[in-house]
Amino acid sequence: MHPRPLERLAMCVVAAVATVLNVLLKLPCTLPTPEGVVRGAFVSRYGCWSDVAALWGSRDLAGHVFPYVTGSELGNGTVEYPTLTGVWVWLTALPVGSAHGFLLVTGVVAVVLAVTVTLLLVRVAGRRAWLWAATPPLALYAVYNWDLLAVACSVVGLVVVVRPPSSWSTTTRYAVAGAAFGVGGAFKLYPLMFLAPLVIAALLDRDAELGTRVRRTAAALGSGVGVVLAANLPFVLVNLPGWLSVFTFQASRPIGASTMSVWYYGLLPWSTDLDGPIQQTMGAMSTVATALGIVAVLVVTVVLALRRGTTPWVQSAAALLAVYMVCNKVASPQYVLWLLPFLVVLRVGGWWIAAYLVADVCAVVGFFRNTYYQAIGVGTDTWAYQAMTAGIWGRAALLVALVVVFLRTPVVTRPVRGTSERTDSGRSGTSGPALADPSDADRVVSGDRVVSTDRVATGERVVSTDRVVSGERVVSGDGRSGAADPTA
């Protein structure tokens, strides 16, 4: 059901308050450590660690040096993230002169981003946007890093294809979505993965003539790659070593306890050797597992697209993200912000969502408290270590299961038979799933008749359950109709 304006306002307020709470949680780490207190014990006791505040000093952001254009190592304004994040960090650091002020400015931006994502998710998923606005991740991680920038870009890419303005042509939709994922990839790399299922959908969805499909495929791929090149090529030409320092750092980063990775905790005690050959072994295992998982998901996506005539590209993007999160060498806690929009727009059951969020809270609370206990000499035989361990392995197991769940789960917003949009040739066409207004979240309108339904598989050829029948014809999940089939 689509929320009324007052409820949408309430969602935005809750999202903003959660973000402000996270800023307040992180502010103590911008202050000097009390005399006689070990810095590590202070940070972990209050869980106030934030990359935003930490990098202010370690990367010399106070110098306000434009990033990547000088030197060949991190520091002097260069941070260990893609170029748009580095430029954004530089811009938001310009008005301030301290880590405290920098965190506050970052918090203001985070509030705007959190509210924007909330409204975009409402457009697609209606009241399910509460899952974004009112669950713990925003309150825990909004300013942990700059991930909300990439999250906002990813959600824009989803919205412009799943529920675009009615006047947009199919090529415009795919071009804007590709550009959004490209911008997101220039903030954080992960949104670039979503280009692959988007391109598969543009090419293989049998809702338009081949020429239109080729044009929208070129538009999606071209805009995405073009944005990435535009964001990186100037830095490559000006100072290649400075640009490469980001990738060199990430490739050589050891897999330690702070990565919260299954590779580290699964290979204890050998993984505690941060300088030994085990690090190369774990890195190779992580890379191979990630590559194999991504290829497997894309193969399944192509098979489903060829079989059904429509591509479950949103589901595929979510599955790719789950593979990356579980197989990557780093499993930073704020990555749940990446995943949460997919838990909103896909009709994932509440138990899956609750289980993952509980595991995530156990992992992060247990991690910081365990680190504190170690700093004061208590050791690892504590409830905190047990909670952290359960959370890390619980998250991993759920992510593996969610790869399958995502690929089998419909998008929340319903398709409507007869909704057409302009194609590039000027003719009317479906151009993928035609989506109902979320205000009709439990209804599908066909002519003058309203037929109740519980679930409609967006991106699938056939309604998965409680088939939507108009006369003697079944409305399929891609907006087309056909004769009623008792096996559908």
- Minimal CA–CA distance to 186: which of 140, 243, 238? 243
pLDDT 10s digits, 392-429 = 999 999 999 999 999 999 999 644 333 334 444 444 33
Distance CA 115, CA 12 (A): 5
pLDDT 10s digits, 189-218 = 999 999 999 999 999 999 989 999 999 999
Amino acid letter at 154? S
DSSP, collapsed to helix, strand or coil, labels residue 455 as coil
What does pTM read for this prediction?
0.84
pLDDT per position in the chain (488 positions), as tens?
678 999 999 999 999 999 999 999 999 999 888 888 888 889 999 999 999 999 999 999 999 999 999 988 999 899 999 999 999 999 999 999 999 999 999 999 999 999 999 999 999 999 999 999 999 999 999 999 999 999 999 999 999 999 988 889 999 999 999 999 999 999 999 999 999 999 999 999 999 899 999 999 999 999 999 999 999 999 999 999 999 999 999 999 999 999 999 999 999 999 999 999 999 999 999 999 999 999 999 999 999 999 999 999 999 999 999 999 999 999 999 999 999 999 999 999 999 999 999 999 999 999 999 999 999 888 778 999 999 999 999 999 999 999 999 999 999 964 433 333 444 444 433 334 444 343 333 333 333 333 333 333 334 444 333 333 333 333 333 333 333 333 33
**Residues 459 and 313 sit within 8 Å (Cβ to Cβ):** yes
Handedness of CA 109, 115, 117, 120 (dihedral sign): negative
Sole residue written with tokens 């138990």: 351
Distance CA 204, CA 431 (A): 11
- Minimal CA–CA distance to 407: which of 290, 306, 318? 318
Amino acid letter at 344? V
Continuous segment of H or E residues that includes residue 244: helix 240-252
